[in-house]
Structure 1
């Protein structure tokens, strides 16, 4: 996984029963992180959605699709999930909102972590931050020309307006190698992730982007030709044990 970190990534959004998010996060951070990684996957980040108190969002990565199947079979067929699945599932209304993604280039994937993950119950070892995930939906596949346009024209504007880009991913259309866990199919998405120190900096970035002539005249026209629907913004607060923060 070193050349392209996590060539396969799941973006998972769970709708939870009211008031149950912290129950799931406590269980997840305490019981599910290390066993999943021991099974062969990378738990990249787990988050509270700032705009929906009953949504839990997380990311996990895999070396490839065959090893995804092996890792998921190992974890979900193993003793840790068997011991805690009833408590975890009791918090959830829906866990099937899953996008299967891939970095379109070696430079597009998530960076390696710079600090170790805190132990369960320990305070986070880096300052608080927020992650913005922006999901663009298109009618047609995102081709290499779009990727080149995004990296040459869009990323500089996003950076100039206060974002710290982390990764950009697009739809992975490989057959779901673990059908027991559904993924959203027949969608063309491009997702970029950026980091901000706090809500004020994130809000300032979005405001500056709205008023940016370079964005309005140079970037948005190319995007709008492709859009199947309005882009989605996820404002995400990392949990204490999230590597992405």
Structure 2
């Protein structure tokens, strides 16, 4: 996408498949050990969530200034002492960690907020993340031209919009989903009761698969709250 929103930021939307009943074990470990250790390498842990109705998943986001920083930061973290000391405990909670989308900005980007401390209250908000599988790389223009006004009329403002980053995955130790063309947008509601869907049938002619919709509650230390 070209225009005022285009930046070089790289985002990973990660959704882990967990062993039954182990999600909160990983979240506790993640929030205690992995957030500051990752951010010390130059990445940002943007958000971490519990998925409504899916107790055996762990979705989270991290961001990098560019692909070069991503490679260096991942090498530093996964080769560093914090991951080495805790990887067995983390891996024991997971069945699969390969559901990862590599994305770039295609509209407004996530706000920067101060991170809460360990043990902070869990916020009441709900994030709805919608992923469209689309044809072509110009879907963002259609979304902003036709969908955003309809969303605004309904009082639903996209918090962030992302699209597939096609750059080579330079840290192949962690796979990302290949061969996809997606557009992802985030909506925030103060409470789950305020959630509402908006009819966006004007977009359907560009879909190559049914939309995917995640309903996410922020964890205690998520900066997306």
For normalisation by structure 1, the TM-score amounts to 0.86
Is 2:223 the partner of 1:243?
Answer: yes
**CA distance in 2: counterparts of 1:88 and 1:6, whole angstroms:** 30
**CA distance in 1: counterparts of 2:103 and 2:33, whole angstroms:** 25
Contact persistence 2:22–2:93 (CA under 8 A): yes
1:187 matched residue in structure 2: 180
2:22 matched residue in structure 1: 20
Partner SS, residue 234 of structure 1? strand
Superposition CA RMSD, Å: 1.6
1:137 matched residue in structure 2: 133
**CA distance in 1: counterparts of 2:104 and 2:143, whole angstroms:** 16
**CA distance in 2: counterparts of 1:108 and 1:141, whole angstroms:** 20
Structure 2: segments with no counterpart, 5+ residues = none
Instruction: Give the aligned length.
Output: 221
Contact persistence 2:108–2:158 (CA under 8 A): no
**CA distance in 2: counterparts of 1:50 and 1:90, whole angstroms:** 23
* 1:4, distance to aligned residue in structure 2 (A): 6.6
Q: After TM superposition, list the pairs within 5 Å mapping 1:1-245 onto structure 2.
A: 7-104=9-106, 107-113=107-113, 116-123=114-121, 127-138=123-134, 140-143=135-138, 146-202=139-195, 205-206=196-197, 209-210=198-199, 215=200, 220-221=201-202, 223-245=203-225
For normalisation by structure 2, the TM-score amounts to 0.93
Partner SS, residue 157 of structure 1? helix
Once structures 1 and 2 are overlaid, which stretch shifts more, 174-183 or 224-233? Answer: 224-233
Structure 1: segments with no counterpart, 5+ residues = none
Give CA-to-partner distance per residue, 1:185-206, whole Å, 9 cap, x none. 110000000100111111xx11
Partner SS, residue 210 of structure 2? strand
